[in-house]
Amino acid sequence: MIAGSSPLVKRQNGVAVLRRLRAADSLSFTELGESTRLSRPTVEDAVAELIADGLVVAIAPEAVSNRPVGRPAKRFAFRADAGLVVACELGVHELRLMLADLDGVVLARSARGLDADLPAADRLAAMTAAVSALLAEHGRTPTELWAIAVSTTGIVDASGTVVRSSRLADWAGTDIAGAFERMFPQAAVSVGNDARCAALAEHWLGAGADLDASVTVLAGTTMAAAITIDGKPYLGRHGASGEIGGLPELGWPRAAAALREFASAGGVLDGGDDERSRAALAEFIEHFALGLITLVTVLDTPRLIIAGELAGVGDRLIRPLQTRLDAACLFPVEVVASVLGTDVSVLGALRLALNDVDAWLFDAGRERRRVAS
């Protein structure tokens, strides 16, 4: 509870009320007062201002057969339809997008193939054009867009610029955030590495939701790892935390190369259980395990999450890895497969965009913005 009547105090009280409404389906004045410890008049004033701002709506009470006689209490809800967010996942060969409301409910998706040799400027133009097209296809406008987040291959710095990329030759130096900010100036823009976005998704909706710390690995023909501490991906000084995929001493380059060779010969691990598939998987695990053991030993995390291309292989991958870690690690580490499938990185980008929405909503000094009617 914040006492006082200055404009700042009123805004802080409004933020306190909005936080409760953002986290609930709906609340009454009484419930808001109890949860915020604000007086009834203060709550009423805060709700009235939030309604005027277009962030909260009064909702009709549902009919309840056993409700006591009398007028039902007014209830209020956060307006998830007040704006939109877009999540983008940029891979080497594909661009995937999600359009969602402010609660993260996905309203539309799109995907398009990309040439691996596409120049960086053209790749960037394709991304911004795809966002505009997705909005237009569903009758929405850029003014409704509150936040955009991009998951990309490569190491990304705090400004949203790619500083290194081993998979796209001219991607390093690309200012992804700047391009989106110029095209959509009303939207907050965030850019993250694909593995860190995957880790964010796992802690939002997946196998890390009940933990504060874990390691998430994108495993397949390319390899990347992300470290989560206190529920957030740990970036490190240069945004390169967990980037052990290029260290030959830890085996991941050989693991990825073996898998690429197997795949190029027409082999399929996900769903394949023939002798050739088993041999390819065993070779992959042999080279893959050392890097995993190193990561979880240094970080002492309770869980290792396998995401990406190989998550769907299931127990044929998870059980041998668990056996290797049980034998090598000082303390037990649980190895699990992601259940988020191919959406894991784009869902992480969606969470990144929603975090930007929350940062604006819960800023007592925020400026009013146009909201959807």
CATH of the domain at 60: 1.10.10.10
| Domain encompassing residue 29 | 7-78
114 with 73, same domain: the answer is no
End of a domain among 43, 78, 113?
A: 78
- The C-alpha atoms of residue 9 and residue 3 are separated, in whole angstroms, by 7
- The C-alpha atoms of residue 228 and residue 195 are separated, in whole angstroms, by 11
Question: In this structure, is the dihedral angle defined by the CA atoms of residues 195, 199, 200 and 204, taken in order, positive or negative?
Answer: positive
Q: Is residue 257, in this structure, part of any structural domain at all?
A: yes
pTM: 0.92
Residue 161, beta-bridge partner list: 175
Strands (E), the chain: 27-28, 56-59, 75-78, 84-90, 94-101, 106-113, 145-152, 155-156, 162-164, 188-193, 214-218, 224-229, 232-234, 303-307, 334-337
Sequence-ordered list of residues with C-beta below 8 angstroms from that of 62, at least 6 positions apart, any chain: none
pLDDT in tens, 216-272: 999 988 899 999 999 889 999 888 999 898 888 999 999 988 888 887 766 666 655
| 3-class DSSP assignment, residue 339 | coil
Q: Which long-range contacts (CB under 8 A, 24 or more apart) does 26-29 make?
A: 26/59, 26/75, 26/76, 26/77, 27/75, 27/76, 27/77, 28/73, 28/74, 28/75, 28/76, 29/73, 29/74
- The C-alpha atoms of residue 285 and residue 279 are separated, in whole angstroms, by 10
Q: Look-up: residue for tokens 């784009």?
A: 346
248 with 181, same domain: the answer is no
Closest CA to 234 of 279, 295, 325: 295
Provide the CATH number for the domain around residue 212: 3.30.420.40
Distance (Å) of CA 154 to CA 128, 176, 236 = 19, 12, 14
182 with 231, same domain: the answer is no
Q: Starting at the edge strand that comes first in sequence, how are the strands of the sheet with 224-229 ordered?
A: 232-234, 224-229, 214-218, 303-307, 334-337
pLDDT of 338 > 70? The answer is: yes
Residue 2 has a pLDDT of 54
332 with 217, same domain: the answer is yes
Q: Is residue 292, in this structure, part of any structural domain at all?
A: yes
Q: How many residues does the chain have?
A: 373
Question: To the nearest whole number, what is the mean pLDDT of the chain?
Answer: 91
pLDDT in tens, 262-314: 877 666 666 556 788 888 888 999 999 999 999 999 999 999 999 998 898 88
Q: Which two tokens stand for residue 99?
A: 């359009």
pLDDT in tens, 42-87: 999 999 999 999 999 999 876 444 556 567 789 999 999 999 999 9
Residue 268 has a pLDDT of 63
Closest CA to 353 of 184, 141, 172, 224: 184
271 with 288, same domain: the answer is yes
Residue 352 has a pLDDT of 97
CB distance 136 to 148 below 8 Å: no
| Domain count within the chain | 3
pLDDT in tens, 80-136: 999 999 999 999 999 999 999 999 999 999 999 999 999 999 999 999 999 999 999
Residue 267 has a pLDDT of 60
Q: Look-up: residue for tokens 């668990």?
A: 322
144 with 159, same domain: the answer is yes
Q: Look-up: residue for tokens 């100036």?
A: 185
Q: Is residue 373, in this structure, part of any structural domain at all?
A: no
Q: Look-up: residue for tokens 């915020």?
A: 36
CB distance 160 to 202 below 8 Å: no
Q: Is residue 350, in this structure, part of any structural domain at all?
A: yes
Backbone angles phi, psi at 281, to 5 degrees: -65, -40
64 with 89, same domain: the answer is no
Express as a percent the part of the chain with pLDDT over 70.
93
Q: Which two tokens stand for residue 28?
A: 């009454």
Backbone angles phi, psi at 108, to 5 degrees: -160, 160
Q: Is residue 372, in this structure, part of any structural domain at all?
A: no
